[in-house]
Chain A
Amino acid sequence: MKFIKFLIAGILFGIVMAKSEAISWYRIQEMFRFQSFHMYGIIGVAVVLGVIGVYIIKKMKLRDYQGNPIVFHPKDKSYPRYLIGGSIFGMGWALSGACPGPMVVNIGYGFVTMAIVFVFAIIGTYLYGLVKSYLPH
């Protein structure tokens, strides 16, 4: 039962992603061709709201539902991984027309072929784990 809130949050997130068409292959292609403002609007406004939310949490030292201090997990301060990994991810995003969130929304939506994309994303993850120590980070 302690997970039910995450299930509900996920359901709401999935519905918003589907209804805003952020899961659409076409919207992603439009974004990377500067043919539509839609995706930039979604991500831009989401970040503004997120920044405000995080600012309020930090400024007012808000606590979580159990009264514990809220913990942020800062990303490593090393840049090769973001430059190389980020570019590889971006190419995959444009090629498949979906990042991990939209992939799973699409599967739920009924585009079962997206499960193949997801399976290969899992394989990509596994291979990364396998060769991680040989890569510059």
Chain B
Amino acid sequence: MLQFLQQPWPWYIAGPLIGLTVPALLILGNKNFGISSSLRHTCAACIPSGIEYFKYDWKKEIWNLVFVLGVIVGGFLAAQLLANPNEIIINENLKTELVGYGMTDFSNALVPADVVSWESLLSIKGILMIIVGGFFVGFGTRYAGGCTSGHSIMGLSALSWPSLVATVCFMIGGFIAANLLLPIILSL
């Protein structure tokens, strides 16, 4: 059983479980699923400012921060109890492309050690991917009023037009960055 759970879970198992999060949160807590609003609550709670966007009663949204705390714990438990003992399977074309940029270390399971590491923070490549990437995620998701969970899962589940527009734009931005920008950045 444990060995079975340690394998990577296929999309037809994970997809339904993630989808069920939407009605589960609605019925168990009358809450709309969404993760990136936690970024706003964190700012409102931790950084004192007179900024209008952060002036609201974030204490009413503590459930969202607790949910995110749970997500962190979930990641920890998955790593401690259910980690896949085998090396991750990467699409051969992607691997060939990455090797072409001089990436060599594919042993770090889920994220490439050549990119997501403290050392890479000292390179232009790492700064663009980690610092600019993170900044764009935070700025973009709040500008768009939601991320993959809030728009692409919750919003689409509620058949919301704005969420469909947002999701299409997420994908367009991603296609551009992955296919046009990353090849340049990774070659630096």
Which residues of A come within 8 Å of B, CB atoms?
3, 5-26, 28-33, 35-51, 53-54, 56-57, 62, 64-66, 68, 70-79, 81-101, 103-111, 113-114, 116-130, 132-133, 135
* A93 pairs with B67, CB closer than 8 A: no
Q: Which of B9, B23, B39, B140 contacts A122 (CB 8 A)?
A: B39
Whether B2 sits at the interface, judged by CB under 8 Å, is no
* A113 pairs with B66, CB closer than 8 A: no
Query: B60 to nearest A CB, angstroms?
Result: 12
* 21 A-B residue pairs with CB within 8 Å: A6-B66, A11-B71, A13-B18, A35-B91, A46-B19, A50-B23, A53-B157, A57-B27, A70-B30, A88-B140, A91-B174, A93-B170, A97-B116, A99-B137, A101-B147, A109-B110, A110-B79, A120-B131, A124-B136, A128-B53, A130-B51
**In the complex, which residue of chain B has the Cβ closest to the Cβ of A22?**
B14
Interface size on B, residues (CB 8 A): 125
* B15 pairs with A45, CB closer than 8 A: yes
Whole-angstrom CA separation of A83 from B11 in the bound complex? 28
Query: B87 to nearest A CB, angstroms?
Result: 11
| Chain B 159-181 residues near chain A, CB threshold 8 A | 159-163, 165-179, 181
Majority SS of interface residues in chain A? helix
Query: B79 to nearest A CB, angstroms?
Result: 4
7 cross-chain pairs, A with B, having the tightest CB-CB distances, nearest first: A14-B74, A10-B70, A90-B173, A49-B19, A124-B138, A45-B15, A85-B143
A125-B40, A132-B53 given; A64·B28 CB < 8 A: yes
Which residues of B come within 8 Å of A, CB atoms?
5, 8-32, 35-36, 38-40, 42-43, 47, 49, 51-54, 62-64, 66-79, 82, 88, 90-91, 93-94, 109-112, 115-118, 120-121, 128-149, 151-163, 165-179, 181-182, 185
Please give, as numbers and ranges, the residues of chain A lying within 8 Å of B176 by CB-CB distance: 87, 90-91, 94
* A100 pairs with B35, CB closer than 8 A: yes
A12-B74, A88-B173 given; A95·B128 CB < 8 A: yes
Whole-angstrom CA separation of A57 from B141 in the bound complex? 27
Query: B145 to nearest A CB, angstroms?
Result: 6
Please give, as numbers and ranges, the residues of chain B lying within 8 Å of A114 by CB-CB distance: 111, 116
Whole-angstrom CA separation of A77 from B165 in the bound complex? 11
Q: Which of B8, B20, B94, B110 contacts A106 (CB 8 A)?
A: B110
